[in-house]
């Protein structure tokens, strides 16, 4: 079964929020990338290069709090407080990722197809027929 984590979206203050959460939980980031680190194939305005593309903070041995700043340069929609989060599923196999995406995508709003990414994963996003936002990720073998 996949692991389940919470993914939070911010409107430019993700770094501040996660520095606060790091202090609250006494943990260090597993990863932190900015939009400026995206390969040149995606043009990012200079005003958004320091925004957070992805941050991961372990809360305990089983749970990771993740987040990002929204950016129109990569197709994000403006956030509304109350629905600025997604459930992130970390699949154990590629077939599990494909199954989860396929099932959750049934009668859903598709945001990103499940495809290989520049960070070495198979990744996709949907909002299911009940309005719940899901992110499916599988780290591809190196």
Closest CA to 30 of 12, 18, 16, 39: 18
Q: pLDDT tens digit string along 64-95?
A: 999 999 876 666 677 777 678 889 999 999 99
Domain residue ranges in the chain = 1-80, 91-142
Helix H or strand E encompassing 94: helix 94-104
Q: Which fold has domain 91-142?
A: 3.30.720
Q: Which CATH class is domain 1-80?
A: alpha beta
Q: pLDDT tens digit string along 13-61?
A: 999 999 999 998 999 999 999 988 888 777 888 888 999 999 999 998 8
| Greatest extent of the chain over all pairs of C-alpha atoms, in Å | 41
Strand stretches in 11-132, DSSP E: 31-34, 52-58, 64-69, 85-90, 109-116, 121-127
Q: Model's pTM, two decimal places?
A: 0.75
Q: Do domains 1-80 and 91-142 have the same CATH topology?
A: yes
């Amino acid at each position: 079964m996949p692991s389940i984590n919470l993914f939070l979206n911010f409107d430019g203050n993700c770094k501040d929020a996660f520095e606060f959460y790091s202090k609250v939980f006494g943990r260090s980031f597993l990863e932190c990338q900015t939009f400026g680190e995206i390969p040149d194939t995606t043009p990012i305005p200079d005003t958004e290069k320091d925004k957070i593309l992805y941050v991961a903070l372990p809360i305990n041995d089983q749970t990771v709090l993740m987040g990002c700043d929204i950016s129109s340069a990569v197709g994000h929609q403006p956030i509304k407080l109350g629905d600025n989060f997604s459930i992130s599923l970390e699949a154990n196999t590629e077939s599990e990722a494909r199954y989860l995406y396929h099932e959750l995508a049934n009668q859903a709003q598709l945001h990103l197809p499940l495809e290989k990414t520049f960070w070495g994963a198979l990744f996709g996003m949907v909002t299911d027929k009940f309005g719940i936002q899901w992110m499916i990720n599988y780290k591809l073998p190196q």
